[in-house]
Structure 1
Amino acid sequence: MNATDPTTDDEVLLVAAEAATLAPSVHNSQPWGFSLHGETLDVFADRSRWLPATDPTGRELMISCGAAICYAGLALRGMGRDVRTTLLPDPTQPDHLAQLSLTGRRPPSYSERALIRALPIRYTDRGRYEDRPVPAALIEELARGVAAHGAWLRPIVTAEDEIDTAVLLSHADAIERADPAAVGELAAWSRHDDDALDGIPRPAVPSTPVAERASNYRLRDFDVGGRAPSHEDRPDASDAAPLSAEHPLVVIIGTPDDDPRAWLQAGQALGWLLLRATADGVTAAPMTQVLELPATRGQLGNALQLVGHPQMLLRMGYGAGRPTTHRRPVSDTLTVVR
């Protein structure tokens, strides 16, 4: 440890809050707030950043905050602190999502160190992935890690399941694109300023329009008012060969229950999965339209004969690399109680 390393409880909890802000969130809305007091860091939902048209139950907000809770806990482990995480610690305050308490000291494990190194480089890649499969051994490890967080992982492997998933995803996307409230939220969180501290900026969106992507899965089209150049751009589309079909790994994260605690657990599992994948060079992007409508979410569960409740649908693969999206400074999200 050097002179600049955090040493006091306040310092390590502040670093944990900063790490939590690196978590993924629906439309990069960052719907969380933190309170630091003594040996505890409390995590709260910030309902001012809720997307009620896209996420009427707040399920995706809770998943986003669950990932932030995961990242805060990992940061504390990286600083050699043991931590006890209590979800929904106060039944009278449903937006008090978690309390992380320092309980002792213990060096981080090798696997924890790998996840911590992945924290600042994890990003969402909405572009094309390389035409090579994600190794089966990694998928199996991801499934075990997700299970350790109280959730389950289901890869889409058969042609029948792929068709069912793609059809329902396309149907849900069409319904949302016809909903003025959902379209308005999408536009409100799409940023024309590349340096915006929240929302989806132009560099995070592929320049190839969604309609021209050779993908079986309908991808969400962010209204960013002019896309930034990207690695998969074609210099002259009229002369270029047609894009080959994309075949990413597609997985579902689900939970046995479907309540706020389960949503937070799904978020913790998602946060862990994304870091473990990043450690092996694999990136991901959500395809959640199908889960944002009760009808298509239920139909997906029935079509795939899922035992439990689907919470997150991801495409995964080896991306070309994109800038990470910006985050609000931790000072905008943190209250220190003396």
Structure 2
Amino acid sequence: MKYEEMKGKANISTMVQFIFQGFSDLPKLQGVLFGLFVIIYMMVLIGNGLIIIVTRFDPVLQKPMYFFLANFSSLEICYVSVTLPRMLKDLWTQDRSISKAECAFQMYCFITLGATECFLLAVMSYDRYVAICNPLHYPLVMNHRTCVQLAVGSWIGGIPLQIWQTSQIFSLNFCHSKEIKHFFCDILPVLKLACGNTFLQEVTLYVAALIIVVAPFMLILVSYSKIIWTILQLPTATGRAKAFSTCSSHLMVVLLFFVSATITYLMPKSTQSSGIDKLLSLFYTTVTPMFNPMIYSLRNKDVIAALKKLFLKISGFGSVVIA
């Protein structure tokens, strides 16, 4: 019996890498999935890159709303780059192993950027609240210094908590299996591999979810309840439509992100399956960042006009070179 215990402890100590399950249950679709995710990644980079360019250089878009939009597009590129390149590598090489250190780093980057997205969406809703509910004070309240402070706070606000959370998870011993039933190192799939008592880590996860997901979402709900009430008080239908159009895109992005994230991290573990986890994670880690530039550009006349000017400059430059 003592020999078996010593052997078990040795197995725990030698577990220095994990293996992603990924999409290994779809062996005939590996090439198709690789091509699909390459297209998605390129769309995310190009779409969000264009938003960053036009909001940075177009004089019409030098407003707080577009400053935060540029930050959001930068975040989406970083967010997707944490998971998709690794997933593409696994599909291409069929080597789905990852070291414990790499897994910890990927998890830390992912959950930190996820926290940034929650905070930044809340900041963007506050910006819309001030613009619609207090338009006369908007230039004073949302001055450049305040915008920079809010953006920096969103980027770094979740770092201490996520360092602590990641270190707590990877201080555990992993003995159940080496296979992570996911396509990246997310918290719940990694926790399922831990042996021993994970109660403290699970409590930490729910506390972090309340602080990082629920609290910003409640702030967004409060902001939009006041925004909607203010819009309904406007005297003309044209004024109401114009006011609502400035925040409808952001509201769509909020719903897409928070609904899937809330289901993933706050739904009881006993009711979740790895298939549902992967589907929801694919939705908010790849699909939502791909559609966000389309949502913001197609529903915003200023962004459409700025993109048209950019394309005209590019095509005009090209014709000069050809001539």
- Shorter chain as denominator, the TM-score bin is under 0.3
When you count strand as a share of all residues, which structure comes out higher?
1
Q: What TM-score does the superposition give when structure 1 sets the normalisation length?
A: 0.24
Structure with the larger helix share = 2
